[in-house]
Amino acid sequence: MNRILFLLLIFTFSCAERELQLPVTTTNEITEVLDVSPIYIFYDAETGEADFNRNNMISTTNWLVNIDKRLTLKQILPHLQYLQEKRRGDGMHKNENAKNYFTCFNEETKNLSFVEFTKMEYHEGSSTDYLSKISGLNNSKTIITIKVNSINDITIVNPYSEKLSSKTNISGLLSTLNQINNQENLIYLNFPLNLNFQDYIAIKTKLLQIDFDSINISEKEFIHN
């Protein structure tokens, strides 16, 4: 399915059935995805809840996941976990090359952009709890955790060293990370349950701009109170 047809699909579905407000991004790394199934997670204005529509999901295709930007991570987390488990499943007709993407709107180009999340694992709880259960990491100086309270309140810390702990916001995130660009660092991201999907995409978009080799972001993400 080409991009023009997909745009038409979104417009038709929205107008005929319900409104879905896509999150805004500035990334232009992926602007076209072929052979797709559109999946929708709507915001129900009457109840304030998420409404997951996966009627068009075909396992062998790329999934374009359209999530209303007003929803919180708490509301969409079980649906994201479901999608990732289905993608990793050993189905009879599994396509190893099929991927998952968030659909976003780029205000600069007035077009769609896509953020891949195929390999992401979404965990309830914090990375600190996760790391405490893994042997051999207690003295590590390469583990960095980013705790997002909001886009204006972000803490970067090495949980095994008192020497590294910085407070920043989304504008200063990359420059703060660049200050620790002196060894191999593995970053674990922590997000609050009440963060809305727009702010989540804004932070993910910012991290896509990292261009220094010593920073690696874990495919495990943690969502908690």
Same domain for 171 and 64 = no
Give the pLDDT of residue 182. 62
Same domain for 84 and 187 = no
The total number of structural domains that make up the chain: 2
Helices (H) and strands (E) in the chain, counts: 5, 12
How far lies 22's CA from each of 1, 77, 88, 174, 205, in Å? 20, 17, 26, 25, 14
Same domain for 83 and 67 = yes
Question: In this predicted model, what pLDDT tens digit does every residue of 65-122 receive, in sequence order?
Answer: 999 999 999 999 999 999 999 999 866 568 889 999 999 999 899 999 999 999 999 9
Same domain for 93 and 8 = yes
Report the residue count for the chain: 225
CA torsion sign for 69, 74, 76, 77 is: positive
Same domain for 141 and 88 = no
Is 15 a residue whose pLDDT tops 60?
Answer: no
Return the DSSP state at 72: B
The amino acid occupying position 58 is I
Question: In this predicted model, what pLDDT tens digit does every residue of 29-59 receive, in sequence order?
Answer: 999 999 999 999 999 999 999 999 999 899 9
Domain end call among 70, 103, 119? 119
H or E stretch including 3?
A: helix 3-16
**Whole domain around residue 145: which residue ranges?**
123-224
Same domain for 163 and 106 = no
Same domain for 165 and 80 = no
Same domain for 149 and 107 = no
Same domain for 184 and 102 = no
The amino acid occupying position 139 is N
Of 95-99, 142-146, 174-178, 183-187, give the lowest mean pLDDT range: 183-187
Is 17 a residue whose pLDDT tops 70?
Answer: no
Distance CA 41, CA 81 (A): 13
Same domain for 114 and 15 = yes
Strands 143-150, 185-192: pairing is parallel
Same domain for 127 and 139 = yes
Return the DSSP state at 92: T
Distance CA 219, CA 210 (A): 15
